Amino acid sequence: MKPINAAERKSAYMYFLIFLVATIIIITAAVFSGMQVPFRQNQKLQEKIGMLQNEKTFAENFAIKMAETKGILDTVNKAGIQAELLDQQITDGIKGLSAMINADTTIVKSTYTNIIQNLTELQFAKKQLRQASSASVEMTQNMQLIESLRSQLAQANNENMMLRAMSQPR
């Protein structure tokens, strides 16, 4: 005994199977992608953390090198110190900082470049200050020499006047 609508039942059963398989595929894909998204996010976050750690390490190394250079800059104008030798050390420190910036792929290169520019300008200002202070010392010595010579001249003029007064007939 075959039912009258066997063909319709068979086609309805096929549609049911097709929709069942499609639904299972969609649900499986949703679950799979739902599990993959957190793994991808985790991977991206790990990369960002790595970049930030590299940036932090770079900033710490840069700060240490900058502090060393600044320490030398602070002592370059003290009395009794070989300024030329310290100037060379400062220049080497600034070159080292520049090399650090060029070698690294830091995000804020402009900030570090500005720091290096400020250190260079400070070094130049310290040189000018040393030159001005040495010129000031020279000028003070010259002024003292002028005063000494003026007093000697005044003394010589007095002696000359006394000798003229003594040599004039009375």
* CA gap 9, 5 in Å, rounded: 6
Under a CB-based contact definition with an 8 Å cutoff, are residues 67 and 97 in contact? no
Q: Is 43 helix (H, G, I), strand (E, B) or coil?
A: helix
Q: What per-residue confidence (pLDDT) applies to 106?
A: 66
Q: What per-residue confidence (pLDDT) applies to 3?
A: 81
Q: What per-residue confidence (pLDDT) applies to 74?
A: 87
Q: Which two tokens stand for residue 50?
A: 């790595």
* CA gap 78, 71 in Å, rounded: 12
Q: What per-residue confidence (pLDDT) applies to 9?
A: 92
Q: Is 108 helix (H, G, I), strand (E, B) or coil?
A: coil
* CA gap 115, 19 in Å, rounded: 67
DSSP letters for 44-106: HHHHHHHHHHHHHHHHHHHHHHHHHHHHHHHHTTSTTS-HHHHHHHHHHHHHHHHHHHHHS--
pTM of the entire structure? Answer: 0.60
Q: Domain ranges in the chain?
A: 8-167
Q: What per-residue confidence (pLDDT) applies to 10?
A: 93
Cβ neighbour number for residue 127 with a 10 Å cutoff: 15
Q: pLDDT tens for the chain, 170 residues: list them.
A: 788 888 999 999 999 999 999 999 999 999 988 888 888 899 999 999 998 898 899 889 999 999 999 998 888 878 777 888 888 999 999 999 999 888 876 677 888 889 999 999 999 998 888 888 777 778 888 888 889 989 999 999 998 888 888 887 76
Q: What per-residue confidence (pLDDT) applies to 67?
A: 93
* CA gap 106, 57 in Å, rounded: 11
**HEC sequence for 126-167:** HHHHHHHHHHHHHHHHHHHHHHHHHHHHHHHHHHHHHHHHHH
Q: What per-residue confidence (pLDDT) applies to 93?
A: 93
